[in-house]
Amino acid sequence: MRIIFMGTPDFAVPALQRLIDRKDQICGVFTQPDKPKGRGHKMQFSPVKELALQYGLSVYQPDSLRDESVQSKIQQLGADIIVVVAYGKILPKSILDAPALGCINVHGSLLPRYRGAAPIQWMVINGEKTGGITTMLLGDGPVDSGDILLTAETEIGPEETAGELFDRLKLLGADLLDETLERLEQGTLKRIPQNHQEATLAPMLTKEMSIINWEQPAKKIHDLIRGLNPWPCAAVKWNDTRLKLLATQVMEGGGFPGRISCQAGELVVDCGQGALRITELQAENGKRMNGRDYLLGHPLVKDSYFQ
């Protein structure tokens, strides 16, 4: 099959690699424009562009897919199918209608739950025990509302972070894409309309979500902390130092929300219900460390509180 691939971040890399390994004819790779990064503002390629260039694939980085010249180029490429994985742009109807076999999207949740930009993070934040991947047909309706093709489930660990789940799901997504294309070629793929009444949304994360309300139950805060890891990371202030909280464990206790204590050498904070053991944190301009080691260099004062 002649395939156009559209994707940008790390999540899309295994899927593109799988298409390359399958020996499909990849007639074009579309990815977001290069962006400046770091103090030197050096232009950085997207992970998808880096992989595409390694294999000598043609790369396109339009600012907009609504540009008529871009739409004309896609028509000229003559793809049988467009595969979309975390591209970051909405495809207009003229592009959706271009390939004979349609446009397939690899989405990081079990649709119709968690439609939107950050499904993996929200699954963790909401304490879901099961997640997964969906391949679906893109349509011109609401975002991520097209017909389901295949799904693959996986358990979410009680202390698994969004970053860890992300790394697992991007590989699962490549596997599911492979199976989807195999069944498409065999003519055994079926379309399953989504139940829109069961749909939930997964909007983009914001830095404002980093603020912790210690009045909440420990389990809810624990899920927020692991869901915001690696970005934007839950954060607190202590002794005028900003700390990123990266990993925790739920404990019994609580009663004084936000109060910090040292229990058996471990850094513990009270919540509205229960308490949290801080198992990994990072100070500004510092390295990651466990709570026990941080306490060794930052002794507690009685009745200290996280802000």
Q: What is the DSSP string of 221-260?
A: HHHHHHHTTTTT-EEEEETTEEEEEEEEEEES--SSTTBE
User: b/e map of 41-60 (b: 16 or more CB within 10 Å)?
Assistant: eeeebbbbbebbeeeebebb
pLDDT tens, residue order, the chain (307 aa):
999 999 999 999 999 999 999 999 999 999 999 988 776 778 899 999 999 999 999 999 999 999 999 999 999 999 999 999 999 999 999 999 999 999 999 999 999 999 999 999 999 999 999 999 999 999 989 999 999 999 999 999 999 999 999 999 999 999 999 999 999 999 999 999 999 999 999 999 999 999 999 999 999 999 999 999 999 999 999 888 999 999 999 999 888 999 999 999 999 999 999 999 999 999 988 999 999 999 998 888 888 999 8
Q: CA torsion angle for 295, 301, 303, 306 (degrees, to 10)?
A: -50
- CATH tag for 2-198 (out of 3.40.50.1360, 3.40.50.170, 3.40.50.300, 3.40.366.10): 3.40.50.170
- The CA–CA distances, whole Å, from 180 to 175, 184, 195, 256 equal 9, 6, 21, 52
- Side-chain half-sphere of 145: how many Cα atoms within 13 Å? 13
Each residue's pLDDT tens digit, 8-61: 999 999 999 999 999 999 999 999 999 887 767 788 999 999 999 999 999 999
pLDDT, residue 300, reads 84
Could you tell me how many residues make up the chain? 307
Cβ contact 234:306 at 8 Å: no
How, if at all, do strands 25-30 and 148-155 pair?
A: unpaired
pTM over 0.85: yes
* Domain at 207-297, CATH class: alpha beta
Nearest CA to 148 among 179, 188, 106, 114?
A: 106
Could you give the 3-state DSSP secondary structure of residue 10? helix
Residue 165: partners with Cβ closer than 8 Å, 6 or more residues away: 120, 123, 124, 131, 156
Each residue's pLDDT tens digit, 167-203: 999 999 999 999 999 999 999 999 999 999 999 999 9
How many angstroms separate the CA atoms of 114 and 203, rounded?
Answer: 9
pLDDT, residue 240, reads 85
How many angstroms separate the CA atoms of 261 and 305, rounded?
Answer: 9
Token pair recorded at residue 211: 């603020």
pLDDT, residue 255, reads 84
Cβ contact 26:6 at 8 Å: no
| DSSP H or E run through 280 | strand 275-283
Task: List beta partners, residue 237.
Answer: 242
Question: Mean pLDDT over all residues of the chain?
Answer: 95
How many angstroms separate the CA atoms of 6 and 219, rounded?
Answer: 38
Task: List beta partners, residue 273.
Answer: 217
Cβ contact 83:177 at 8 Å: yes
Domain ranges (residues) in the chain: 2-198, 207-297
